[in-house]
Amino acid sequence: MRKVMSGSLPDIATRFSRYLSRLCPHHALIIFTRECAGRPRKVAGTPEIVGRVTIDELDVIKQTLAFGGVFDGTAELAGTSRRILAVRDQVDTLLVLVPKLSPPDGVTLAEIAAIFGIVATSIRQQVVQASPDYLAESRAASSERARTIAELTELHEATLSSILGTLRSNDLDDRRSRITASETAVAALIALQSAGAANRALSEEAVTTAFARLQGELRPLLRHRDVDVDYVEPPADGRPLPGEIAHAARAMVRTVVLAFGAQPTLPRLRIAWDCDGSNVLIEVRDQGPGAIDRNGLMRQLCGRLHTLGGRVDIESISGWGSRVSLAIPLDLPAARPDEHLLSTLNPRELEVLSHLAVGKRNRAIADALGISESTIKFHVASLLKKLDVANRGEAGVIGIRAGLVPERDTFTTTRSQQ
């Protein structure tokens, strides 16, 4: 499971599929989460299945399951009715398996659900942390999806409009044929025009919707506290939030609420969101003893805020209470040229680049990743070409700027600081 959760987020389905293959052999594995605005589907397995799975099909499967629910039966997937195993985790992430055996050999669906819970939680944590490489990858995926939809919409609108003009012509005698064809073409036009709305639903979230979701996420945290919570909603006409910003904002509010809840008493809490057109403005204040750990809270918030280009102000007065103000830009930080280039690297190349960033040679990288030195040479040559740099030193500088650090080195640094 450590290997499943390590590495880049876009490739997590491949790693999880490799892990589950010995417990539950399967033809295909799909993870579906709208928290990943750039790539809501993460797939591994037979191309004939994973290449044809649609978001609409996954939405239908998800809506048939309660939070924490499981399903073993037949459903429409990749255009065909087939047997699936499905799990909807408590964090609203969906897992769909197309098993090879019926029933799975040696593992129950409840056990698969428990294992998937760890993976779903890991995905949520990576999303809300909003690392620079994740934002670059997500931005590239969202932009490519929007571009493709726009091109297809323009092409098909022109084609179908031409068809409609022909079918409505008085030169055609078969009236019933024209009516039927017109209805079909109109339905296709409506479906195509809704594609842009579907894309916005994946990449954006209304500020009022984001705030309502926040209230639902805070309810379990405050359930056992005798605290009066006052929610001040943002204006309904506020600018929509990019998906990555909405998830990060909710995560930071949860962090603040947990810090407030660590005080001996917490009689009243006020949580307010606003929008000034360029930023989402968040204020959390209490009427507690003013005993929050300001330094600890700042450390927990500064990483995400730095990535998103936001700012925070924390005040705490003994005996009077505390206040935390956050301002998060609605537009993602401008992408540097090297940040855009990072989105062209595959997960393995990103791993190799993280080792180059700390000055490792090919042999050391091969030992760390458990692959041959010749394979490392191949990956280094490929990433040098994609990053348009002359040598591994220049590539390492790009890795350093992006904050790429090998997993093991991160752990060692943290332990040494402790």
pLDDT value for 394: 85
* Distance of alpha carbon 133 from alpha carbon 13, whole angstroms: 18
* Distance of alpha carbon 384 from alpha carbon 276, whole angstroms: 42
Q: What are the backbone dihedrals phi and psi of residue 2, each rounded to the nearest 5 degrees, phi first?
A: -60, -40
pLDDT value for 417: 35
pLDDT value for 390: 86
The model carries a pTM of: 0.47
pLDDT value for 141: 59
DSSP E strand boundaries for 233-381? 241-242, 268-275, 279-286, 311-317, 321-329
**Residues near 320 by beta carbon (within 8 Å), at least 6 away in sequence:** 287, 290
DSSP letters, 378-416, are HHHHHHHHHHT-SSHHHHHHHHHHTT---HHHHHHHHHH
DSSP letters, 116-132, are HHHHHHHHHHHHHHT-H
pLDDT value for 79: 87
* Distance of alpha carbon 352 from alpha carbon 366, whole angstroms: 9
pLDDT value for 73: 93
* Distance of alpha carbon 316 from alpha carbon 364, whole angstroms: 48
pLDDT value for 410: 38
Q: Cα torsion for 418, 326, 128, 62, to the nearest 10°?
A: 150
pLDDT value for 411: 34
State the Rg of the chain over Cα: 25
> CA of 406: how far to CAs of 50, 148, 296, 374, 413, in Å?
30, 34, 25, 20, 11
pLDDT value for 344: 76
What tens-digit pLDDT sequence spans the chain (418 residues)?
888 887 777 789 999 999 998 888 999 999 998 766 667 889 999 988 988 888 889 999 999 999 999 999 999 998 889 999 999 998 889 999 999 876 556 678 899 999 999 999 888 877 766 555 555 556 555 655 555 565 566 666 666 666 666 666 666 566 666 676 677 677 666 666 665 555 555 567 888 988 998 998 888 888 777 889 999 999 888 788 887 788 888 888 988 998 898 888 889 999 999 988 888 999 999 988 988 888 888 888 876 777 777 889 999 888 889 999 999 988 755 555 555 667 678 878 888 988 888 888 899 899 888 889 889 999 999 888 888 888 888 888 888 777 666 654 433 333 333 3
338 is written with which tokens?
């090297």
Q: What type of residue sits at position 355?
A: H
* Distance of alpha carbon 161 from alpha carbon 186, whole angstroms: 9
pLDDT value for 245: 83
| Exposure string for 326-345, b = 16+ CB within 10 A, e = fewer | bbbebebeebeebbebbbeb
Residues 232, 270 contacting (CB under 8 angstroms): yes
* Distance of alpha carbon 396 from alpha carbon 353, whole angstroms: 7
Whose tokens are 């919409």? That residue is 153
pLDDT value for 103: 57
Q: What type of residue sits at position 323?
A: R
